Amino acid sequence: MSIDLMFQMPNPVKITGRSSSITNAFVNGIIPCIMPKQEEINEVLRILDMEGDAKCAYCRNPHTEWDHFRPLIMKKRPTGYISEIHNLVPACGKCNQSKGNKHWKTWIISDAKLSPKTRGIANLDRIIQSLEKYEAWSNPTMIDFEELVGRKLWEDHWKNCERLHQLMQESQILSDQIKNKIAQGIVKKERGKVVAPPLDPTKVSENNKLKIGIIAQTQLRAVLESNRISEDVIQLLQTNNYSKRTFNLNFPVLKAIDHSQNLINQKSDGKGYSRYYKKPITINSATYLLCSQWYEKDREYLVRWIKSIHKDSAGS
């Protein structure tokens, strides 16, 4: 099994990626919760055609939570609905997450990620009918929070929320700057190392931490410039066929530089898109351009090829 299949890097986290959690906390933190009576729960389950056995009201899979049928938040402010049996239906995690603050009927037949329609849930018409029954039965409380707590207190609460969002955005900009600096530091270190590329093929597994473009610009460049590649292979690297077959590239890995011509034109394809890195590469005193069209999905091709060169060199 390839390393790429066995290993998956955790998703990077963004500070601003938590914005809706903050709004949720500012709304959910003040919403009243009215505990339902057993009879009321039974009644809701009967209306939803699932007497005695609560299932997700939207997809009929096992339920894990109760979802606010009408959204609590609209345009970053409370709608006035609260947590009560007249606004709660059993739901599964998938549906609850996918529905978010959308209107239930628009969402249920939408192509949203993990919506019941997207997941191909059976008998959607019957599910919609039972939800319409619930909607007609329920008589939800609607509160004018501002009037209840007074304008000053209410506005202060939302100013705090806005300040937090603002601070998160400023923090994200700073965080991006720091991240870039650290990444540049790592690239520099890597460049320093590849002046003498590691001969130990196991070291190549360190490549998993690097972007494919960085591997191409450091390790591939170093291997090519080490003059260990035969002239035949250098010729092959300038062909479409070999580059496609070996690296899944749509352009030749190398393009010999014609010094009588404009370099910028040579970097571009027929349509004017740049397909080669700016920095030329020197192999056996000839200069070439190195292809820049690397995609993460093709990482294994590149890593395997570099590895094979290291293996050949270690043996000789």
Q: Which residues bind Zn ion (CB under 5 A)?
A: 56, 58-59, 92, 95
Least distance between Zn ion and beta carbon 204 (Å)? 45
User: To 5 degrees, how large is the angle CA 110–CA 115–CA 116?
Assistant: 100
92 or 249, CB closer to Zn ion? 92
Least distance between Zn ion and beta carbon 114 (Å)? 9
Task: Return contacts of 201-210, CB within 8 angstroms, 24+ apart.
Answer: 201/307, 201/310, 201/311, 201/314, 204/303, 204/306, 204/307, 204/310, 205/3, 207/299, 207/303, 207/306, 208/3, 208/4, 208/7, 208/9, 210/186
Report d(CA 202, CA 240) in Å as an integer: 30
Least distance between Zn ion and beta carbon 104 (Å)? 12
Q: How far is C-alpha 105 from the geometric centre of its chain's CA atoms?
A: 27
56 or 303, CB closer to Zn ion? 56
- The 10 Å CB-count burial string (b at 16+, else e) for 244-280 is eebbbbebbbbbebeeeeeeeebbeeeeeeebbbeee
55 or 244, CB closer to Zn ion? 55
Least distance between Zn ion and beta carbon 91 (Å)? 6
56 or 236, CB closer to Zn ion? 56
Least distance between Zn ion and beta carbon 36 (Å)? 20
Q: How many CA atoms lie within 13 A of 194 on its CB side?
A: 24
96 or 207, CB closer to Zn ion? 96
Least distance between Zn ion and beta carbon 57 (Å)? 8
Least distance between Zn ion and beta carbon 122 (Å)? 13
Least distance between Zn ion and beta carbon 107 (Å)? 11
- The 10 Å CB-count burial string (b at 16+, else e) for 86-116 is bbbbbbbebbbebbebeebeebbebebeebb
103 or 179, CB closer to Zn ion? 103
59 or 257, CB closer to Zn ion? 59
Question: How many CB atoms are located within 10 Å of the residue 233 CB?
Answer: 15
117 or 228, CB closer to Zn ion? 117
Helical (H) or strand (E) element with 126: helix 124-137
Report d(CA 100, CA 112) in Å as an integer: 10
56 or 216, CB closer to Zn ion? 56
Least distance between Zn ion and beta carbon 115 (Å)? 10
DSSP per position, 162-206: HHHHHHHHHHHHHHHHHHHHHHHHHHHHHHHHHTS----GGGGGG
